[in-house]
Amino acid sequence: MDPGSVALLRELIAETGWVERTREFGLALRATRSPGGLLLVGTPDEEPWHLTAHLDDEARLSGLPQLAPTLVRWEPPAGAPPHLRVGLDRIHRAGRGETLFVVAEHQAPVPLLERVDDARRTGATILALDGGHTELAGLAHDTIAVPASGPVTFDAAQHLVSAAAGELPQRPGLRERLARLLERVSGPHVND
């Protein structure tokens, strides 16, 4: 999905809360302290290649090297290039300042949940993009659940998150701040 398509999608779902939520999540991804400290892992059947590529692009285009993810694989082939040979043992070495980003559209298997729990105990920040599974959400510091019947697909949610991660945080303009202030002060109106 190109930037224009992401912008169009954002317009279409503007009233759903998804745009704001993915921007918050993108900020959490940016909190990773150093390059190589964003660990991206999926399930044995679905490795998040597509999201890895998009986050790598966002890291390069935004000048935020900490967004360049390390793809953690379940069974990396021995002859693969070094960046494609990172196995699950890398999760055991995750610590403070690093982020473990779990992408699991379907139920995360128990071995993955155990590794996520270990990484959380050693101080890594756990983020998850999932299909709404409570086990993974219970281990994560922040989660975006993408229900099958929601306004966006799992693939679209990945595009929204990666685009948001590469954006500079936007401060609301004067009009937006005044509108929020007036809304808080005046509260809901009831016609008599």
Q: pLDDT tens across 39-90, in order? A: 999 999 999 999 999 999 999 999 999 999 999 999 999 898 988 999 999 9
Q: How far apart are CA 14 and CA 82, in angstroms?
A: 40
Whether 11 has a pLDDT exceeding 80, the answer reads no
**Please, which pLDDT band fits residue 7 given cuts at 50, 70 and 90?**
confident
At residue 189, the pLDDT reads: 45
At residue 191, the pLDDT reads: 46
> Domains in the chain, ordered, with CATH?
3-186 (3.40.50.10490)
At residue 170, the pLDDT reads: 59
At residue 167, the pLDDT reads: 86
Whether 175 has a pLDDT exceeding 70, the answer reads no
Q: How far apart are CA 126 and CA 69, in angstroms?
A: 14
Global pTM reads: 0.83
At residue 65, the pLDDT reads: 93
Whether 33 has a pLDDT exceeding 80, the answer reads yes
- To the nearest whole percent, how much of the chain has pLDDT over 90? 57
Structure-block tokens of residue 171: 């401060």
What average pLDDT does the chain have? 87
User: What Å distances lie between residue 108 and 20, 105, 179, CA to CA?
Assistant: 26, 8, 42
User: What Å distances lie between residue 113 and 72, 120, 143, 166, CA to CA?
Assistant: 14, 10, 14, 28
Strand partners, 99: 38, 125
Higher pLDDT, 22 or 42: 42
At residue 15, the pLDDT reads: 79
Structure-block tokens of residue 121: 């105990």
At residue 190, the pLDDT reads: 43
Whether 147 has a pLDDT exceeding 90, the answer reads no
Q: What is the mean pLDDT of residues 86-102?
A: 94
Q: What is the mean pLDDT of residues 10-22?
A: 79
